[in-house]
Amino acid sequence: MVEPDDINCIRAIFLHPERRVTVAEAAHLLGWSSGRMKEAMHDGEIEVVGTCRSSCVELAELVEMALSLWPMTEIERALGSSARKILPPGLRTRRLCTPLPRYLIDMLQHLAAAEQASLELFLSRELQDLASARRETLARELPGFAEAFDWPRGNETQKDC
């Protein structure tokens, strides 16, 4: 279950009115300390861009980070009725139930626990990697795939200062 602080972070990121935020604001929106933000920048987890005035973080960068931090169902729940307005149709969740051999279920649960992630978040990350490896073919063959896969960066245009 999503924590109240996480709900606030998710809503603040996805409903933010500006295209860019300061590094300090980005840390605040993610619920991170300044030390955690510096570490993420150093490790390349968060990309900082220079503007005419200072260093900033693109909102799309924060959205991508949010998608890796919280399961999509929690993001949808936090956004409430706004989710349908913000998220492209292909990114909205649907339930998938399928039988798997027990050893595969045990493996998935073990690997998710090792990453300190929910099973839902772990599977989403792994399937995202699979989608990335097959992106070109899937984009040609599945309507809406490219829009969902490339979101939030798929339709942005760079503006100068």
- The residue ranges of DSSP E strands in 1-140, in sequence order, are 20-22, 49-50, 55-58
- Calpha distance 129→126 (Å, rounded): 5
Does some domain include residue 160?
no
Q: Is the pLDDT of residue 38 over 60?
A: yes
pLDDT at position 88 is 92
Q: Are residues 102 and 81 located together in one domain of the fold?
A: no
Q: Are residues 6 and 37 located together in one domain of the fold?
A: yes
What is the domain-level CATH number for residue 1?
1.10.10
Q: Are residues 63 and 104 located together in one domain of the fold?
A: no
Number of domains in the chain: 2
The DSSP letter of residue 140 is H
Domain final position from 87, 109, 139: 87
Query: How would residue 156 be classed by pLDDT, with cut points 50, 70 and 90?
Result: low
Phi, psi of 124 (to 5 degrees): -60, -45
pLDDT tens, residue by residue, 86-134: 999 999 999 999 999 999 999 999 999 999 999 999 999 999 999 999 9
Q: Are residues 98 and 146 located together in one domain of the fold?
A: yes
Considering only CA atoms, give the Rg of the chain.
17
Share of the chain above pLDDT 90, in %: 86
Does some domain include residue 105?
yes
pLDDT at position 1 is 63
Q: What's the pTM?
A: 0.83
Query: How would residue 137 be classed by pLDDT, with cut points 50, 70 and 90?
Result: very high
DSSP H helices in 50-134: 59-69, 72-79, 83-86, 102-114, 119-133
For residue 19, give the amino acid letter.
Answer: R
Q: Which of 13-17, 42-46, 157-161 has the lowest mean pLDDT?
A: 157-161
Q: Which helix (H) or strand (E) holds 114?
A: helix 102-114
Phi, psi of 56 (to 5 degrees): -135, 170
State the residue range of the domain holding 24. Answer: 1-87
Q: Are residues 92 and 126 located together in one domain of the fold?
A: yes
Domain final position from 69, 87, 105: 87
